[in-house]
Amino acid sequence: MALLQSKTILIADDDQMSRKLAEFVLKKDGYNVLSVESGEACIDYLKNRSGVDLVLLDIEMPQLNGIETLEMIRADKSIAHTKVFFLTANEFSKYEEPSKRLGVLDFISKPMFGPEIQERIKAVFANDTAAKDTVLVIDDDRMNLKFAEHMLSPTYNVVTALSYKDALDYLSKELPSLVLLDLHMPGMNGFELLAEIRKIRNCHDLPVIFLTADSDRETEIRVFREGALDYIQKPFVPEVVLERIKRILTLRKLQTSLESEVERRTAELEESRRKLEILSLQVVKTLASAIDAKDRYTNGHSSRVAKYSKEISLRAGKPIEFQDEIYFVALLHDIGKIGIPDHILNKNSKLTDDEYETIKQHPSIGVEILKNITEMPNIEIGAHYHHERFDGKGYPEGLAGYEIPEVARIIAVADAYDAMTSRRSYRAALPQNVVRDEIVKGKGLQFDPDFADIMLTMIDEDPRYEMRDDGQAL
Ligand SMILES: [Fe+2]
């Protein structure tokens, strides 16, 4: 595999056997391993070459011992940040104080070098990797890759790919923060490779910077046209490369944090909206209960009519918003009954003509009560027109056919079904076949024929007569 995700470990130990053992184990784990045999050589190496990610530093060395070596490392600004594990054949506890003072990350007990230690080393780099952005550098020239890695690794996790195949393979599994892409490569040029990268899931907007030795205008124009964010001229000027990468990653992070802020605010608004919706439904249901409480023989009527109206709407192919709205509308269709005296509503014997005229006022009273609810005009419409008849002989306005608003035509069928299927002060619930016959007789006269047909289907699908008054409506 030509992908090199290299972490470099420097071993400083005067004991050759220890060095060889550590080298053997760490190389097998894929690290670049270097070793020196003294504290002086360790400092010299760190000062003259960058890119060492961790030093395993033996404490017991002749001349400069590990503690003295680390004191000198910490005193030199250019290498003071170096991560260090101490190696020792002695008891750790002897070195606790200087280790704390000098910021040693961990101890390794010599000559042990087993899986547990490998895990501890891995953990150091796992933290590193989590905090840093990853830059994928794709170039067929090993020297360029080495140079890019050397330049970028102090700031970024660097992954390098020598061919388009390696690059695509990596991108199909991992998502780096940014890609540096060589324009001229064998097999697939940079533009072609970019097109392939864009097809990979999550890579459609991955920031890409082209690397090119070309300086003609056509190339420059094409770079941007093909969707790269920038291009860098070879040979690189390290400061320019670092600045450009930094600028793009900063912009990307701002964009991402803006997007997540928008998402967060949207979720908050959605939650508030949902709460308001629940509150509205609870208020409306409470009102519906108040209406039903007025008439002891029709308890639960409003919620049952709401349920039937919603079901008719669903079967009529109405959108979910309509179904939800008609549920609200139907809950309040009889709100005007609040204004009708109890003794008339609850009368056990036949109503006089005057009493019947009083009852017939409830749609108009409902309009008065609901007129201020402007956000959902159908609420008022449902209360106003649910006693209109398709043949024009209803009340209060005597509208006919499709002059009657649709929500009212639906509620009218649901209302009639519930009136017939629930017990009244003067009679028991009617048998289902009688209810069915009444709906058939009312088709096109009392009821919109289409909605009456839907109700007939609902009745026919309910052979055990269970749809009515199931006690679950509210
Ligand atoms: Fe009514």
**Residue whose tokens read 């991560």:** 83
So what's the pLDDT on residue 5? 53
Distance 411 CA to ligand 1 centre (A): 9
Q: Distance, CA 149 to ligand 1 centroid (Å)? A: 80
- Ligand 1: distance of its center to the CA of 276 in Å? 28
Q: Please report the pLDDT score of residue 130 as a whole number.
A: 57
Cα 61 to Cα 16: distance, rounded to the nearest angstrom: 12
Q: What is the pLDDT of residue 472?
A: 37
| Phi, psi dihedral angles at 341 (to 5 degrees) | -55, 140
C-alpha to C-alpha distance for 424 and 438, rounded to whole angstroms: 17
How far, in Å, is the centroid of ligand 1 from the Cα of 412?
A: 8
Element (H, E) at 87: strand 84-88
In this structure, what DSSP letter does residue 153 have?
T
Token pair listed for 159:
């992954």
Q: Which residue intervals of 104-236 are DSSP H helices?
A: 115-131, 142-152, 164-171, 190-199, 217-225
Q: Residue 245 belongs to what H/E stretch?
A: helix 238-294
Tell me, in angstroms, the distance from the centre of ligand 1 to residue 337's CA: 8
DSSP, res 236: P
- Per run of 10 residues, the mean pLDDT along the chain (length 474 residues) is 65 89 85 91 86 90 92 84 88 84 85 77 72 88 88 87 92 90 88 92 88 82 85 83 89 85 91 91 88 78 94 97 95 94 86 94 95 90 97 97 98 96 80 96 97 97 83 36
Give the pLDDT of residue 458: 97
Q: 166 C-alpha vs ligand 1 centroid, how far in Å?
A: 74
Task: Render the burial of 235-251: b for 16+ CB within 10 Å, e for the rest.
Answer: ebeeeebbebbeebbee
State the distance from the centre of ligand 1 to the C-alpha of 168, rounded, in angstroms: 69
Q: Are 53 and 85 in contact (CB under 8 A)?
A: no
Question: Residue 363 Cα, ligand 1 centroid: separation in angstroms?
Answer: 7
**How many angstroms does the Cα of residue 382 sit away from the middle of ligand 1?**
10
How far does the centroid of ligand 1 lie from the alpha carbon of residue 186, in Å?
A: 81
Residue 371, SS3 per DSSP: coil
Between the CA of 102 and the centroid of ligand 1 the distance, in Å, is: 85
CA 419 / ligand 1 centre spacing (Å): 10
Amino acid code (one letter) for 132? K
pLDDT at 40: 93
CA 223 to chain centre: 33
pLDDT at 127: 65
Q: Tell me, in angstroms, the distance from the centre of ligand 1 to residue 320's CA.
A: 25
User: What does the pLDDT look like over 141-192, one tens digit per residue?
Assistant: 898 888 888 888 888 889 999 999 999 999 998 889 999 999 888 888 889 9
The alpha carbon of 324 and the centre of ligand 1 are apart by a number of angstroms equal to 20
- Show Cβ contacts of residue 239 under 8 Å, excluding neighbours closer than 6 positions: none
Reported as half-sphere exposure (CB side, CA atoms, 13 A), residue 441 has a value of: 8
User: Cα(151) to centroid of ligand 1, in Å?
Assistant: 81
Instruction: Show the domains of the chain with their CATH numbers.
Output: 8-131 (3.40.50.2300), 134-260 (3.40.50.2300), 295-460 (1.10.3210.10)
Cα 446 to ligand 1 centroid, rounded to whole Å: 14
The pLDDT of residue 139 is: 92
Q: Map residue 85 onto helix, strand or coil.
A: strand
If you measure from the C-alpha of residue 315 to the centroid of ligand 1, how many angstroms do you get, rounded to a whole number?
23
β-sheet with 106-109: strand ranges across: 32-36, 8-12, 54-58, 84-88, 106-109
CA of 141 to the centre of ligand 1 (A): 84
| pLDDT in the model for residue 59 | 92
Between the CA of 397 and the centroid of ligand 1 the distance, in Å, is: 14
Q: Please name which of 400, 376, 379 lies closest in space to residue 389, comparing C-alpha atoms.
A: 400
